[in-house]
A and B are shown apart, each in its own frame.
Chain A
Amino acid sequence: DTGVSQDPRHKITKRGQNVTFRCDPISEHNRLYWYRQTLGQGPEFLTYFQNEAQLEKSRLLSDRFSAERPKGSFSTLEIQRTEQGDSAMYLCASSSRRAGGRISYNEQFFGPGTRLTVL
């Protein structure tokens, strides 16, 4: 357990429905990242926040995807009008300038992920 939690762990939905996932990072971490991972592939960057500011979004992220981190703590990722191609594991990670006693943003701590299945 890295200290990053995600909810729900599994989500099954029908095509066209909206879904929302939540991530609670390690409390003192000011950076939060969202990734998507499909079977047999590495995680793919979606977006990241520093505190409440969303600083970068992947060009792969369509306008059906939106993420928020309203108070610089937890974050939500919403997918509107889901498609079968959205089926994947959605991973959240957090990092801090000081992590594990080391001064570094380099170590990202990943949550267990939310597995989305779109039928």
Chain B
Amino acid sequence: GQSLEQPSEVTAVEGAIVQINCTYQTSGFYGLSWYQQHDGGAPTFLSYNALDGLEETGRFSSFLSRSDSYGYLLLQELQMKDSASYFCAVRAAGNKLTFGGGTRVLVKP
């Protein structure tokens, strides 16, 4: 089976930096994805890491350490529109995704 752990909630102010950690236990690991979901909306893809290291996409970066079964999503220069839930998801064979419980990020003025 697969299990993922991430914090349930994070609060920060505009302009701050937030790091969301994700640890996983899995068999058949191919990579770690991150998705953003606003209330009432559909999940939208943010990033994918298959290899160790940091991937940067604009204000968002994602990191993976396969040996530690650990990854994180870094949100920089936080904006009000970044208030949402963020999910890490392990990709297994066939591209099946197993999602964590999500981290609710609340950005305050």
| A residues neighboring B (CB under 8 Å) | 2, 31, 33, 35, 40-45, 48, 50, 55-56, 91, 93, 95, 104-113
**A–B pairs, 5, beta carbons within 8 Å:** A2-B44, A50-B94, A93-B43, A107-B48, A113-B42
Query: In the complex, are the beta carbons of A105 and B95 less than 8 A apart?
Result: yes
| Bound-state Cα–Cα, A104 to B44, Å | 16
Query: In the complex, are the beta carbons of A55 and B94 less than 8 A apart?
Result: yes
Residues of B in contact (CB 8 Å), total 21
Query: In the complex, are the beta carbons of A42 and B96 less than 8 A apart?
Result: no
Set B31, B44, B50, B99: member contacting A43, Cβ < 8 A:
B99
User: Looking at B33, B97, B98, B100, which has the most chain A CB atoms within 10 Å of its CB?
Assistant: B97
Residues of B within 8 A of A50 (CB): 94
Decide yes or no whether B89 CB sits under 8 A from chain A.
Answer: yes
Query: In the complex, are the beta carbons of A111 and B48 less than 8 A apart?
Result: no
| Bound-state Cα–Cα, A44 to B97, Å | 8
| Bound-state Cα–Cα, A45 to B50, Å | 20
Query: In the complex, are the beta carbons of A45 and B97 less than 8 A apart?
Result: yes
**Known: A42-B89, A104-B48, A107-B48. Is A112-B42 also a contact (CB below 8 A)?**
yes
